[in-house]
Every structure is written in structure tokens, then in C-alpha cells.
Structure 1
Amino acid sequence: MKLGFLTACLPQRSLEDIVTWAKSKGYEALEVAAWPALGNRPFTATHLKAESFGSGDVERVQTLFRQHGLTLSSLAYYDNNLHPDPVLRRDINQHVLRCIDAAGLLGCPTVGTFVGRDPTKSVKENLRVAEEVFKPIVDRAGEKGVKVIIENCVMEGWHPDGYPGNLAYSPELWEWMFSIGLYLNFDPSHLMWIGIDPVEAVRPYLHRIPHAQAKDVQLFPERRNRYGFFGKTRERDNPWDVGWWRYRVPGLGQVDWVRLIDAMYEGGFDGVLSVEHEDPVWGGTEDKVKTGLEIAHRTLRPLLVR
């Protein structure tokens, strides 16, 4: 198991800068952000331009990683593949395909995205649509020797009432994903706040998890007594502020990393564990973000076998 991080937390830095810094801090892998230029959306970045990726880019990126002894674990483009606007949906689906093509050229084993959701349709209706949407994506991935991995983020901020906006949040939905050729980019933090034990949840599915993310979560049950499970409604100016929990870097929340990593080793996981930094305490400035990544490294590195 190697320790890496998702580069989206450093959107203003070049890939060259991030690779150099990651190596100096003892990281072994990077999950590279590959969103198209989308403006100022939080937790997104463009460290690899999949839409214009060519042979010269392949050589540059492979040489960069090889010279620093790092692994390129995944290309990351997490967006709503079931977007209700058909034009936006088509654009998103097409960019996933471009990421798969770039990953194939690089020899990168995975591309990460979301299933997403059309909030005007029921879950069952969305799943039927998703089977059609993802068929060409899964087929292209198979042709390129790449696995499409879906993060189990709830994406409650995408739904107008805070309901799940990404239909990949539970083991029941993972089994559906696996049946259509998708894999899981496992993140324990999302399971904690919806009441699922991530250790027990991960055990049966490790053979379908080629990549995992490391994010922690801090829960405030006393606040849940005011807002309920679904979080703020009347007072929710920020769609991502549910009021009774927040994401943290590993070691500053309530995920039992010792128990979780032990279960992953026991189940045979030997992929990359990639820190996804969305901690509001250690965010806001580049220096704080880097400190958060160092905290995550100090927490997780002692638990991984060299």
C-alpha cells in the first residue's frame, strides 16, 4: 500500500511543483486532478489537460513522475454524469472519456468520477439511465486497460434539499455499480456520517477497490439534535454546510484508521491510499493546506507497511 494525495487541494500550483513537494514530504503517489477549466469551483483543479493531451504530454508527465520516484495512481474528474441538463451531461461524459484516453496513454490504472444524479428523477429511474450512460464509458475503459472508479461521496450539496446527489453512497449501490463494470474509490469519511461502519462495509468488497481515499470526518451529535440527520434547512446558505459534521484530514476526526487499514491489509488491498484534503480548519491558504497534508502523512505513514 502506498500513500498519496489528490492534487485538487493545491489548484494554483503546477503539477511539477506538486510532484517535487510531495516527494520532499515522503508521499509516494499522486491522484492527479484533471477537471477542465471550470472557474472557481471548490476542490477542483486542472493539473492535467485531458482534452488536449498528446504524445509530448505523455513523455513530460511520465518523466516527471519517474524522476521523482512517484506513482501516478489515478486521474480525477469528479462530476455529475447524470446531470439533468442534457448538454452539460454530454460534456461531462465526454470529458470522462478523454480522461480515460489520457490514462491509457500514461499507463495510469484508474480514472475517478461520480455516478451523480438527476434530482428530478427517482433513484430507480436514475439507475436505469446510468446503465445506459456508463456503458460506453466502461467499454472505452476496457479498451484502454483502465478501471473507472467511483467515489462513494454523498454529494448532498448537489440536491436542492440535501439528499444524496451521487448514487454511490452505500454498499447496496456499490453492488449495482460493480454489476455494470464500475469499481469503487473507497472513502470512509462519507460512511461515518450516514451511520455505516466503514470497516465492516469495506471487508466484502476489497476485490472491487483498486484505489482508496483517506479523508476523516468530525461529528457533532449535539448539533444533530437541532437539525436532524439531513442537516440545516432554513439556515443553510451554503449547500455543503449541513451543520452537524465536517471533513477533516486523517487523524483529526473519528475514523479508526488503525482498524480500517488493518482490515484493508487483511483483505489484500495493495493499491494507493490517497489523502483527499477538504479540511476547513487546515484550508484557505496554501501553507495551511500543506500543513494539513503533513498532518495526514504523520497519521497514516506509520500504519503502512514499507
Structure 2
Amino acid sequence: MRLGLLTACFPELSLEEVAEWAADNGYASLEAAAWPAGSDHPHDAAHLDAEFPQQEAERVQELLDRLGLTVSAVVYCENNLHADTEERDRIHRHLRACVETAAALGVSYVSTFVGRDVTRSVADNLRLAERLLPPLVDYAGERGVRLLAENCPMEGSHPDGYPGNLAYSPELWEWMSDLGLLLDFDPSHLPWLGIDAEDALEFALERGLVAHAQAKDVEVDTRLRTRYGVFGRTVGRASPVDAGWWSYRVPGRGRLDWNRIVDILHKARYTGTLAVEHEDPVWGGTAEHTKQGLRIAARTLLPLVSPGDPAPQRR
């Protein structure tokens, strides 16, 4: 197993800067963000150009080889069932470009969202996904790439903060796999949904659904949950993601048992990447705070992911 990081937490840094910092701080792999340049979302970044020429692929590979890093997945998590058909088509075009980038770099996975048309019922969305997603899966497969879906509920995509990504529960992971998408497993989303993260991981591994894994923690205030309810605050809600009773944290600063989670992965003989996704409001806001949060995550996870192994050395 390799410890990685999702590069989206460093939108202001170049790929070279992120890669060099990662290699110097115990990380062996990058889950490389490939959103279109110019996105103003705080968790989007364009560290890989989704339409780069072969010469650029050679430059990126040379950088990775020099630092002893790999790219575990190309990431473009967007709403593939967007209600606006023009926006949906744009998202699909960029997702296909990400597949081309992954193929050029020899990367096996592109991670995305299923998404949701918020103007339709869940049942109608399932039928929509069954029509729209298989052609994207086939496009990737023809190029030796597998599409993954992260299990983030994407409550920010729904005007009321309800699930905006139909990949949030183990029931939907099996449905997704029937469409050809495997799972980019992130345990942090599960506790606040009332799902046991360890049990869900064992369920997914037993069925061969997990191709890639992320490491993010969650802090839950049960007293505030009693006040607001599981759907979160209503009066004074600043944004769809402002639930008021839970927040994401770096591994080691939340409630998840990383000894157990990593042990479950080892038990299943998982040999892929466990990539830290940094969305911690305490250790965020600036590049230096973000780096400190990632150091905390590395100190928490490195002894578990590669017990007894030294941190990778720069070449």
C-alpha cells in the first residue's frame, strides 16, 4: 500500500511544487486533480492539463520518476447527471479528456462522481445514469482506463443540502458496479450518514468494489446533531454544506479508527493507494496550514500503511 495525497488542496501551487513537497514529506503517490483551469471552487485544482500533448506527458512522467512518485488516479469529480444538458455535455467532454490524459500517463483510474439531476426523483436519476454512464465507462475502457466514483454525498450540489451524488451508500455501490464503475472509497462521509465505515469497507472489499481509497476524517458533534437533526441546520444556513454539526478533518483529528480501517485494507490484500484528501477547516485556509495538516495525516498513517518502511527518498 502507498500513501498518497489528493492534490486539489493546493490549487495555488503548480504540479511541480506539490510533487516536490509530497516527496519530501513521506508521500509516495499523487491523486492528481484535473479540473478545468480557472475554477473558483476551493477544492478544485488543475494540476494536470486534461488536453495536453504527448510532450507534456513525457515531462510529467520525468518529474514523477525523478521524485520517485506515481499518479494513482486522475481526479475530476463533477456532476455527470447535471440537470442542464449543455453543462452536462461540457462535463462529459472534460471527463473524456481526463481519460485521455490518464491513458497518456499510463494511469489506470479516473475518479469522478455519478452526480444527480436535482430536478428529478432518485428513481428517475437511476434510470438516467443507466443511460448516460455506460458510454463513458466504455470510452475509458477502450483506452485501458477504469472510471471510479467517490462516495461523497455532494450535499453542496443540492439546494437543500441533500445527497447530490448517487454513490453515497453501499446499496448504490453495487448498483454502480453493474454500470461498470468501481469505488474510490472515502470513509469520512459515512459516519454522519449513520453508516458504519468499517463495516461498509469490509462489505465493499468482499465484493471487489474498491479500486482506490482516500483518507479523510470527520468530527461529529452529537449534541448539535440533536439540535439540528441529521439533515443539518435550517435557519441561518450559510451554504448547502453548512450542516452545523459535523466537519471534515485530517486523519488523526477526527473520530475514525485508522488502525482498524488500514488493517481491514491490509487484510483484504489491498495494494493500491490510500490518498489523503485535505478538507480540514482547522488546518486549512493557507498553503502553510494545509501542509501542516498533511504532515499530521502522514504521521498518523505512514506507520500503518507501510509499517517499518522508511519514507520515500528524493532522487
When the two structures are superposed, what TM-score results if normalisation uses the length of structure 1?
Answer: 0.98
Residues 259-270 of structure 1 aligned to structure 2 (within 5 Å): 259-270=260-271
Equivalent residue number for residue 85 of structure 1: 84
Q: CA deviation at 1:48?
A: 0.7
1:270 and 1:141 map into 2 onto residues whose CA distance is 22
2:132 and 2:44 map into 1 onto residues whose CA distance is 23
Q: Does 1:19 align with 2:38?
A: no
- Aligned residues with identical type, % of pairs: 54
Instruction: Tell me, yes or no, if the aligned pair for 2:78 and 2:115 is still in contact at 8 Å.
Output: yes
Equivalent residue number for residue 228 of structure 2: 227
The amino acid that maps onto 1:273 is L
Residues 61-72 of structure 1 aligned to structure 2 (within 5 Å): 61-72=60-71
Equivalent residue number for residue 290 of structure 2: 289
Note the residue ranges of structure 2 that are not aligned, 5 or more in a row.
Answer: 310-315
1:192 and 1:154 map into 2 onto residues whose CA distance is 12
Secondary structure, counterpart of 1:47 in structure 2: coil
Q: CA deviation at 1:204?
A: 2.6
The amino acid that maps onto 1:277 is H
Residues 30-109 of structure 1 aligned to structure 2 (within 5 Å): 30-50=30-50, 52-109=51-108
Residues 162-201 of structure 1 aligned to structure 2 (within 5 Å): 162-201=161-200
1:150 and 1:202 map into 2 onto residues whose CA distance is 15
1:205-231 deviation digits (Å, cap 9, x = unpaired): 222211100000000000011110000
Q: CA deviation at 1:71?
A: 1.0
1:124 and 1:93 map into 2 onto residues whose CA distance is 22
The amino acid that maps onto 1:247 is Y
1:39 and 1:183 map into 2 onto residues whose CA distance is 26
The amino acid that maps onto 1:289 is T
The amino acid that maps onto 2:44 is T
Equivalent residue number for residue 304 of structure 1: 305
Secondary structure, counterpart of 1:232 in structure 2: coil
1:24-72 deviation digits (Å, cap 9, x = unpaired): 111000001100024311100001110x211111101111101111011
Secondary structure, counterpart of 2:142 in structure 1: helix
Secondary structure, counterpart of 2:162 in structure 1: coil
Structure 1 window deviating more from structure 2 (32-41 vs 111-120): it is 32-41
Secondary structure, counterpart of 1:284 in structure 2: coil
Instruction: Tell me, yes or no, if the aligned pair for 2:173 and 2:183 is still in contact at 8 Å.
Output: yes
Q: Does 1:140 align with 2:139?
A: yes
1:220-279 deviation digits (Å, cap 9, x = unpaired): 000011110000112112221100000000000001100111111111211100000000
Query: For this pair of structures, how many residues does the alignment match?
Result: 305
RMSD: 0.9
Q: CA deviation at 1:157?
A: 1.4
1:168-199 deviation digits (Å, cap 9, x = unpaired): 00010000000010010000000111011111
Instruction: Tell me, yes or no, if the aligned pair for 2:173 and 2:209 is still in contact at 8 Å.
Output: no
